[in-house]
Structure 1
Amino acid sequence: MTETGIHYLDARGPDGMRLYAIGDVHGRNDLLAAMHRRIESQLEYAPASDWRIIHLGDYVDRGPDSKSVIDFLIEAQKRDPRNIMLAGNHDIGMLEFLADAEPDGLFMNYGGVQTAQSYGVDLTRDVHWFGKAEAIARGHIALVKAVPRSHVDFLRSLPFSVSFGDFFFCHAGIRPGVPLESQSQQDLIWIRDAFHDHPGLFPKVIVHGHTPVPEAEVRANRVNVDTLAWKSGTLSALAVNGGDKRIIDVQGKAL
């Protein structure tokens, strides 16, 4: 049976538009700023008539400076709306924690403590005196006060996917067999095995993060640019210029 869909080698960006897709940042504002400087240098050296910088989600948790990452992204979007930010599961998890302090949810178990610290809040400070649930409830009140309304509005505004040329961008991946326009938000920010293991081509090449890999992974049907930046000190991106496609990295301190 002949596969239908777009192969990475044949995929092209829109004519005249440079594309950059940046992987999971997870609180590493130093790496995010370095990546933007690198992209700006490329656009100055070889100007493009149009461009988009697409951030693939997971701006918060685990790394040291989630607050500054969100500040950076808000300012970038104000400066030029061609900076596009998509939702990741950790970004939605932060919103969920702000709405309901679940003591054993994604936020508390997978890096939200570091996110709270970047806003000056210690979610675990009072555990010895009050027990975990009550301490988190007290910390939650402090965090709700500390997170600016502009940050909450930003997280709520994040779309779950975007498409340019032969590329479809999302945080985690897609459900095989489901049209791109009909993908569920849950799959777009959470899916792993069913997507990763699919052998066939998709209607477009899927550019995603969510699942850390030692170096950016380029396959016939997808590109994964999550290189565990918060810990490895390497933030990766896919750069597309017409039919030319390449991975670019910035390096910083490993944690």
Structure 2
Amino acid sequence: MRIAVAGGTGTVGRHVVAAAEARGHETVVLSRSTGVDLVAGTGLDAALDGVDAVVDVASVPTQSAKASTAFFRAVTTHLLAAGERAGVRRHVALSIVGSDRAPHGYYAGKAVQEDLVARGPVPWTLLRATQFHEFAGQLLGQLSLGPLALVPVMRSQPVAAREVAERLVVLAEEGVAGAAPGRARDLGGPEVLRMADAVRAYARATGRRGPVVEVPLPGAMGRAFRDGTLVAGPDADRGTQTFAQWLAGTGAPARR
């Protein structure tokens, strides 16, 4: 099977490529480095020639609802249109647990993406997953003021990006084989953590010094962070790799 991976060089995309190739599939990476501009839609027709399934894990580094919505609307619209022209048999999109109940900030774009996929012309599968283990390090890098790290009060259920990628590849296989379109069972990590604790552990592992201070974010997004909206429900599947195991393995090489 030939699988195109939108965002195939990113945090989860590189794992999707590796998982697909390990299962004997040919992969096509859709990114600017391979001559494809997902936002403009250029290069897609040639890239999707002969592709059986598209796995969309593209993302944009923003917390702006406007920027996120613009990005996911453009990328999803172009992928679906090009996929229909190319005869792609399954479009698999990765979304986030809770994005439908907290469509704010970055999540606003994911809500738009989900709607476009579900109404689109290509048979589809949607997987919602919780935040990746890498999210702790991203927060540490984004919200630091000198030695001080500010972290939102948040309940999180981190999941291994590799395990999410493996699930996406299986869903692509099942879709091409004729599985009914629709949402797959949500995928969360094996444990629920306070994000501040995860960030502190990441900081220790990377030799980062300085206090980590929890800050309650205002508004609807802040409430969603705190009240468990972004945690997987009881019917969700669970990954196996804990945050501590990820951190002790390949997650965060210590600074020298």
TM-score under structure 2 length normalisation? 0.31
TM-score (norm 1): 0.31
Q: Which has the higher contact order (CA 8 A, sep 6+)?
A: 1
